[in-house]
Amino acid sequence: MPELPDVEIFRRYAEKHALSQEIQDVSIKDDKIAATSPQTLKKSLTGHQLKKAGRVGKYLFLPTEGETVLVMHFGMTGWLEYQKQEEVQYAKASLHFDSGYYLHFVNPRKLGRLHITDNIQEFSRYMQIGPDALAIREEDFLQKMKKKKGMLKSALMDQSFLSGIGNIYSDEIFFQAGLHPKTKISNLNEAQLGNLFIRMKEVLSLAIEQRADPENMPEHFIIPRRKEGSSCPSCGGEVRKDKLSGRGFYYCPRCQGGKSD
């Protein structure tokens, strides 16, 4: 679930509900998700308020009014829940506000992480988080792509190169751009790279507009057809499945070329 559009929805959710109220108590229900020690997480947050909700790639940044910033990463499965109920299934950490409400960090597979940092820039550098896929400017994107080697899909999913795009949305971006995911970057011309940039922004923005809800994806998206045997929304041909570095991906052979190298 949590790629850039999903995390952007979580960011807005946190911004709407969880800011400017005192955190009374912090409970870490599973130490596995605590990238910063549970003691430090509790000490840094208790008695403070979250003041902002920012995002870079798949990371959510929640600065307090003090020095410290709560950082969330959701892993393969996870979301936020703001409610009065103290116990929520799969909640691995919970902030208890003085309003009585809880912000639950829900993470069924325990692959998500919570960090505390006092400097977002430093944290981003240390974690090697590349420029945000929605924030990057075209000239920077083109410049980076021209220097990058290897296959398209590997590049767009490389979080240190460009952050926010995962397996699902990369499939959609390549479908919209009419490019095969295994295309070698070096075989693309300026126009194709420019088009890729436009499609990338378009797919991410549209997904956010649909609140990153898979049920609400536009008709012309391939995401709802990520199943073997389904038909391409554009040409009606059969959607095919392949693998790259162990990750399955879906594409339309007719609309996205053979391999174009």
Partner DNA sequence: GTCTTTGTTGGCAC
Partner DNA sequence: AGTGCCAACAAAGA
User: Looking at beta carbons only, is 11 or 73 nearer to DNA?
Assistant: 73
CB 154 within 8 A of CB 224: no
Binding-site member from 19, 20, 32, 86 for DNA (CB under 7 A): 32
Greatest CA separation for the chain? 59
Q: Would you call 115 helix, strand, or coil by DSSP? A: strand
| Using rule CB under 7 A, residue 117 touches DNA | no
Range in contact with DNA (rule: CB under 7 A) among 14-22, 61-69, 159-167, 251-259: 159-167
Strands 69-73 and 59-63: antiparallel
Binding-site member from 3, 8, 132, 172 for DNA (CB under 7 A): 3
DSSP string of 36-85, one letter each residue:
S-HHHHHHHHTT-BB---EEETTEEEEEBSSS-EEEEE-TTS-EEEEES-
Binding-site member from 37, 248, 258, 259 for DNA (CB under 7 A): 248
| Lookup: tokens for 206 | 């549209």
Binding-site member from 27, 77, 195, 234 for DNA (CB under 7 A): 77
User: Looking at beta carbons only, is 244 or 254 nearer to DNA?
Assistant: 244
CB 144 within 8 A of CB 72: no
Residue 185: partners with Cβ closer than 8 Å, 6 or more residues away: 145, 148, 149, 150, 151, 152, 155
User: Looking at beta carbons only, is 23 or 60 nearer to DNA?
Assistant: 60
Distance CA 16, CA 224 (A): 29
Distance CA 154, CA 171 (A): 11
User: Looking at beta carbons only, is 236 or 246 nearer to DNA?
Assistant: 246
| Using rule CB under 7 A, residue 246 touches DNA | yes
User: In the complex, what is the shortest distance from the CB of residue 6 to DNA, in angstroms, rounded to a whole number?
Assistant: 6
| Using rule CB under 7 A, residue 8 touches DNA | no
Q: Which of residues 46-75 bind DNA (CB under 7 A)?
A: 57-58, 73, 75
* Residues forming the site for DNA (CB under 7 A): 1-3, 6, 32, 57-58, 73, 75-77, 108-111, 127-128, 148-151, 154-155, 157, 159, 166-168, 241, 244-248
